[in-house]
Amino acid sequence: MNNLLVLPVLLPMAIAVFLMFFRKKIVLQRTLGVIGGIANIAIAAFIVMKVRSEGILTLRLGGWEPPYGIVFVADMFAAVLVLAASITGFAVLLYSFASIGREREEHYYYTFFHFLLVGVYGSFMTGDIFNLFVFFEVMLISSYALITLGGSKKQMREAPKYLLVNILSSTLFVAGVAYLYASVGTLNMAHLSLRIAEAGQGGVLNVIAVLFLIVFSLKAGLFLFFWLPGSYASPPFAVRALFGGLLTKVGLYAIVRTFTLIFPGDPSFTNGWIAAMAAVTMLLGGIGAVAYRDIPRILNYNILIGVGFVAFGLATGSRDGMDGVVFYMVHDILSKGLMFILGGMLIAAAGSDKLDRMGGLMKVRPGLGWMFFILALALTGIPPLSGFAGKVLIVRGGLDEGMLALSLLALASSLLTLYSLVKIFREAFWGTEPENEDEETESDAKQASGAGRSSEAALGKTKAFAGVSAVFLLLFVIGLGLAANGAYGFASQAGAVLDNPGLYIEAVLKE
Amino acid sequence: MEWIMAIAVGALFMIGVYLILSKSLLRVILGTSLLTHGVHLLLLTMAGLKRGAAPVLGGGADSYADPLPQALILTSIVISFGITALYFVLAYRSYQTRGTDEIDGKEAGDKGAES
């Protein structure tokens, strides 16, 4: 029993509800957001340290014994993801000050922002599959609001499709829960794992497993990512940073949790599917990132490469692969958030999102240029930075299991990541400044950076927050790489639970 | 009883999918609405249709209905109700902004849907 576990969910929820009543008081909204963000990082860090010393923590909500009530479970995997998500969330909050614009701030932007965080933290912490659905919905409904907030033509075109895809996958989620409840008669994840192990996974349980794989893949953008590049290209960059950093990772977390805890019984079947989907995702994501010449699309396809990489780590099914999954997901949450923040700053500085209209920015914004370069190296997995350790572990896991072709594909996708990001670096920061031809795409870039013409003056004061948020996240990206040896201890504790679901079951169902 | 429910669920899914595949946003929303109804019926059926007593424990009840699926369905209904309302408002706003009700349709006064 540990009431601490409910705090990461409770705190942003309280802030979100409170801010609803003060929509015009922007200074109050920002101040509360900053205080809440810092408090959440502190709470998450405290939970991580507590899990480190005491093992898996559980909280039985309402005092109901599992498997009857809902439990919150913080194993190391969930705890470090909550920590990484709260760090990225805080950075995106700071970046929002600089870029989101007064209009949106007055129309409940911060309320929805905090509700989205509620859904993300809750999804990581819950130990009940229907409760996972509910937290998914909290997160998704906030994301519906954030993706439509502003009401530009582009958003109005993409948002209905985004809603449709997510409503469909949520419907299938409920159908999956129905089948699961019919076949094993429980919804607590630990209890599900126990019952399915008793019944022997196969036949109808494999069908249910694939149904859940479809549901979570739709949300994570694993193979079923057709909706992602378009939808993620419509909201302002602060929202994209939130989506790219957190939303897809929650889907990915659900895949990892489901297939290590609930359906680990038939790895030759499930891992085969996941491996194939991961391969296609990495390949198509890489091709997309290399092929396009506008920055939003390049960045969106880079999300997919990361998703495919983590899924590949899961598909190896080895201990090294699991450690790598944990490590790489933390890195991915931090660095994808940073990638969109830097992308937004870059587009705001260049005044266009097309590479052909950029050049010579190194003279004007050298700091931004070098930060982008370091990020490109981190995403590729160059040693002293955060992407390296995760990639090494995942690829080593893959080679140990004899998945040579997939390991090579994973490495090739890293190369494509490097190429696509260096392409941005080379053309936007080096080269010569293009002549200002026409103003046709100006408005689009303004929309992308969130700066409406009317709020330009108000934003002037807060522009500095963009740089602060980027430096803040970059420090974590570099720090995670430099302290990889220490961080490996945490990742390995998390990987142990993923590798052996018995630990999780014992912690939840003991007494 | 189960076979009636199975046919009802199947019909709702069929109509829902058909509507979702159409171009008009309004039909798509009706489709998602029917689809979620189908899923709720599925959940009810899969948890077992019993004509037992009220789910009261300790009162010496010999047979009682499982209360859990009802709680799940109630939660799910509330969520889908909210989302459907939001979707309708979004569709109306999208129609006002873009001048068309079609997903990916050609927009009024626009050169075409270049995304």
What would the pLDDT profile of A172-186 be if each residue is shown by its tens digit? Answer: 999 999 999 999 989
The tally of domains found in chain A comes to 1
What is the model's pLDDT at position A66? 83
Does the bond joining A67 to the residue before it have cis omega, within 30 degrees of 0?
A: yes
Chain A residues inside the 8 Å CB shell of B87: 160, 163, 167
- A195-232 per-position pLDDT tens digit: 999 988 888 999 999 999 999 999 999 999 999 998 99
Mean of the pLDDT values across residues A348-356? 84
Best mutation target, B27, B46, B80, B96, to test chain A (most A CBs within 10 A): B46
Beta bridge partners of A60: A71
Q: Indicate if the alpha-carbon torsion angle A64, A68, A70, A75 is positive or negative.
A: positive
Reported pTM: 0.92
**Which range marks the domain in which residue A415 is found?**
3-509
- B6-54 per-position pLDDT tens digit: 999 999 999 999 999 999 999 999 999 999 999 999 999 987 777 666 6
- A193-204 per-position pLDDT tens digit: 999 999 888 889
What is the model's pLDDT at position B113? 44
Query: Are the C-beta atoms of residues A150 and A238 closer than 8 Å to each other?
Result: no
- Minimal CA separation from B42 to chain A, in Å: 7
Q: Work out the number of other CB atoms within 10 angstroms of the CB of residue A281.
A: 27
Beta strands A57-60 and A71-74 are: antiparallel
Q: Is the pLDDT of residue B107 over 80?
A: no
Q: Indicate if the alpha-carbon torsion angle A410, A414, A420, A423 is positive or negative.
A: negative
Q: Is the pLDDT of residue A442 over 50?
A: no
- A129, closest residue in chain B (CA to CA): B72
| Cβ <8 Å between B113 and A157 | yes
CA distance B64 to A203: 31
Distances (CA, A) of A259 to A28, A254, A270, A501: 43, 8, 8, 10
What is the model's pLDDT at position B99? 87
Mean of the pLDDT values across residues A455-475? 77
Segment among A6-20, B39-53, B56-70 with least mean pLDDT: B56-70
Query: Are the C-beta atoms of residues A472 and A98 closer than 8 Å to each other?
Result: no
CA distance B40 to A57: 34
SS3 label, residue A100: coil
| CB-count burial class (<10 Å; 0-12, 13-18, 19+) for A423 | middle
User: Given the structure tokens 């997995």, which residue do they identify?
Assistant: A381
Tokens at A302, concatenated: 């880079």
- Minimal CA separation from A64 to chain B, in Å: 14
What is the model's pLDDT at position A480? 92
What is the model's pLDDT at position A461? 63
Q: Which residue has the higher pLDDT, A435 or A365?
A: A365
| Cβ <8 Å between B97 and A156 | yes
Chain B residues inside the 8 Å CB shell of A171: 32, 35-36, 39
SS3 label, residue B18: helix
Distances (CA, A) of A64 to A71, A364, B72: 8, 60, 17
- A185, closest residue in chain B (CA to CA): B47
| Cβ <8 Å between A164 and B43 | no
Q: Which domains does chain B have, with CATH numbers?
A: 2-50+66-98 (1.10.287)
Mean of the pLDDT values across residues A74-89? 96
Q: Is the pLDDT of residue A142 over 70?
A: yes
**Residue A454 binned pLDDT confidence (cut-offs 50, 70, 90):** very low
CA distance A314 to A310: 6
Chain A residues inside the 8 Å CB shell of B110: 153
Mean of the pLDDT values across residues A47-61? 93
DSSP labels for A353-404? Answer: SBGGG---HHHH-HHHHHHHHHHHHHHHT-TTSTHHHHHHHHHHHHHHTT-H
CA distance B39 to A167: 12
Comparing CB atoms, the residue among B20, B43, B90 nearest residue A174 is: B43
**Which of residues 186 through 205 in chain A touch B, CB cutoff 8 A?**
187
- Supply the ipTM of this predicted assembly: 0.91
Chain B residues inside the 8 Å CB shell of A143: none
CA distance A326 to A313: 9
What is the model's pLDDT at position A430? 85
What is the model's pLDDT at position A120? 97
CA distance A379 to A347: 20
> Which stretch of DSSP H or E encloses residue A16?
helix A7-20
Query: Are the C-beta atoms of residues A177 and B72 closer than 8 Å to each other?
Result: yes
Tokens at A441, concatenated: 């795409």
